[in-house]
Amino acid sequence: MSKLKSTLGIVAIAFITLTAMSCKDNKNEQNNADGNHSEMSADEDHSKMNHDNSDEHHDGDKKEMAMSGDGNSQAVLKDYFNLKNALVADDNAKAKTLGATLATTLGNFDVSSNFSDTQKAELKDIIEDAVEHAEHISESDIDHQREHFKILSKDVSDMVAITGTENTLYQQFCPMYDGGSAWLSLSKDIKNPYYGSQMLNCGKVQKEIN
């Protein structure tokens, strides 16, 4: 009887080991699959999370940014600035969340409003590129986030060149980061998203965008 028991026990252990082993692979697979859709699942998570976030987080921006009818580009800008603020604050986790939020917002961008065909094509292109960077930001360490933020900033600036902006924006520039890098801000004050606390005030206003 006890022999039977111990045999059974061992068979069970063998099974568990096996399952664990195959799970490992599966997990790998799932992780990777997740990596692929992580955009999606992350987005879902984040759209939830962000509701909380948006309340406390947008406070500062809300005051300055009067939201109006055209949600599209304004919503992108809003998310972009939140993300920028997280990078200024060296907050990797928050930047991840906000990157995912931005990716969702960009994904929902409706290009079909009153633009010319060339503009539409360009906007589509910009959005496609920006989504990718936002997604990367949602899953990277802070150094990578900043690398992607640089190109994202270029995309968002190009978007604004087409869509315009309701608020005055300031294009700011830090000559030190990666051969010189720009970003957009709602305020004239320099708060460097590429260095954060390490060099918070490095940079200058390059251009005022109305």
Partner 1 sequence: MRIVKIIAIILLVAFVGIQFIPTTRNQSDTVPETDFMLVNNVPENIQNKLQVSCYDCHSNNTQYPWYNKIQPVAWFLEDHIKEGKAELNFSKWDSLSNRRKVSKLRSIVKQIEAGEMPLDSYTLIHKEAAFSEEEAKEVINFMTQLKDNL
Binding residues for partner 1, per CB under 8 A? 6-7, 10-11, 14-15, 18, 22, 25, 28-29, 32-33, 35-36, 125-126, 128-129, 132-133, 147, 151, 155
Nearer to partner 1, 61 or 135 (CB): 135
Q: In angstroms, rounded to a whole number, what is the distance separating the alpha carbons of residues 165 and 163? A: 7
Distance of closest approach, residue 179 Cβ to partner 1, in angstroms:
11
Distance of closest approach, residue 102 Cβ to partner 1, in angstroms:
16
Long-range contacts, 68-74 (Cβ 8 Å, 24+) = 68/166, 70/113, 70/163, 70/166, 72/109, 72/110, 72/113, 72/163, 73/109, 73/159, 73/160, 73/163, 73/164, 73/165, 74/165, 74/166
Distance of closest approach, residue 130 Cβ to partner 1, in angstroms:
9
Nearer to partner 1, 184 or 190 (CB): 184
Strand arrangement of the beta sheet that strand 204-209 belongs to:
181-185, 169-174, 204-209
Distance of closest approach, residue 31 Cβ to partner 1, in angstroms:
8
Query: Which tokens belong to 167?
Result: 């608020």
| 201 Cβ neighbours under 8 A, 6+ residues apart | 190, 191, 192
Nearer to partner 1, 4 or 66 (CB): 4
Distance of closest approach, residue 37 Cβ to partner 1, in angstroms:
10
Nearer to partner 1, 7 or 206 (CB): 7
Nearer to partner 1, 22 or 201 (CB): 22
